[in-house]
């Protein structure tokens, strides 16, 4: 399976932290958010990765230039940001659209159970599969309900989307390229047609998408005993 890392942002939500550094390259315990995503993708035996960029995107391009574990293509949205769906629609090559692609948001740190591996196929008639967790009561995430069939309903329920999904790229084929499109709109459209499924993520996550969240966790031991494995992966991935 291939993967798409959604790393194109405006660089505004992190305040002074991203004045000279794009958010995916911010470090926690010495590990960039992007490298932790790449570490997980390696664990999940991903074959190739596409990364879309916008704010200070050249730094991300330089950062992964010598990455050795698997091929990485950087898709630079220089003139304007295309949104989560627009970036995939515009940059993802047609020849790779015949099989599902794993989407991952590097703003979120995923801590899956040891036996977890993302799905490599979609159920009949499903165009998208989302990983969900119970929605925190103090957050304003879009509420999602998981029906008995596994289909999803948006606007009610007790779960939220964590930023990890399986997507059939062809479900974006009706979108105009080089225009802004948001995945949340695609999710809701597919839900109305019964074409989106989901399941509870077997593990935990840590959202670091804002400066407030970052400040709350930057001094804590986030990776625990896994840190040495991550450090080893990063070192070997960029070793000359």
CATH fold for the domain made of 2-238 = Spore Coat Polysaccharide Biosynthesis Protein SpsA; Chain A (3.90.550)
2, β-bridge pairs: 101
pLDDT, tens only, 116-140? 999 999 988 899 999 999 998 877 8
Q: What is the DSSP letter of 83?
A: H
- All residues at 6 or more sequence positions from 78 whose CB lies less than 8 Å from its CB, including other chains: 54, 57
Dist CA 198 CA 39 (whole Å): 24
- Residue 162, pLDDT score: 97
pLDDT, tens only, 83-105? 999 999 999 998 888 899 999 99
Domain parsing of the chain, residue ranges:
2-238
- In 3D space, the residue among 136, 156, 137 whose CA is nearest the CA of residue 146 turns out to be 156
pTM above 0.85, yes or no: yes
Percentage of residues of the chain with pLDDT beyond 90? 82
- All residues at 6 or more sequence positions from 199 whose CB lies less than 8 Å from its CB, including other chains: 129, 131, 132, 146, 150
**Mean pLDDT of all residues belonging to the chain:** 94
- Residue 240, pLDDT score: 65
Do 5 and 87 meet the contact criterion of CB atoms below 8 Å apart? no
Taking residues 164-170, report their average pLDDT: 96
pLDDT band at 213 (very low <50, low <70, confident <90, very high): confident
- Residue 30, pLDDT score: 96
């Amino acid at each position: 399976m291939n993967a798409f890392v959604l790393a194109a942002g405006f660089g505004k939500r992190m305040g002074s932290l991203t004045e000279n550094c794009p958010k995916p390259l911010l470090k926690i315990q010495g590990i960039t958010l992007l490298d932790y995503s790449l570490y997980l993708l390696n664990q999940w035996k991903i074959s190739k990765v596409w990364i879309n960029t916008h704010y200070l995107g050249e730094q991300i391009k330089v950062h992964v230039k010598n990455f050795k574990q698997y091929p990485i293509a950087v898709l630079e949205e220089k003139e304007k940001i295309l949104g989560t769906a627009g970036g995939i629609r515009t940059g993802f090559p047609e020849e790779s659209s015949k099989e599902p692609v794993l989407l991952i948001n590097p703003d979120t740190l995923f801590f899956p159970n040891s036996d977890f591996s993302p799905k490599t196929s979609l159920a009949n008639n499903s165009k998208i599969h989302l990983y969900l967790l119970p929605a925190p009561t103090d957050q304003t995430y879009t509420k999602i309900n998981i029906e008995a069939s596994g289909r999803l309903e948006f606007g009610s329920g007790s779960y939220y989307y964590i930023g990890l999904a399986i997507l059939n790229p062809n479900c974006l084929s009706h979108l105009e390229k080089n225009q802004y499109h948001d995945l949340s709109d695609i999710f809701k459209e597919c839900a109305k047609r019964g074409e989106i499924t989901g399941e509870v993520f077997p593990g935990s996550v840590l959202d670091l998408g804002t400066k407030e969240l970052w400040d709350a966790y930057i001094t804590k031991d986030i990776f625990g005993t896994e840190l040495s494995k991550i450090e080893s992966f990063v070192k070997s991935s960029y070793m000359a």
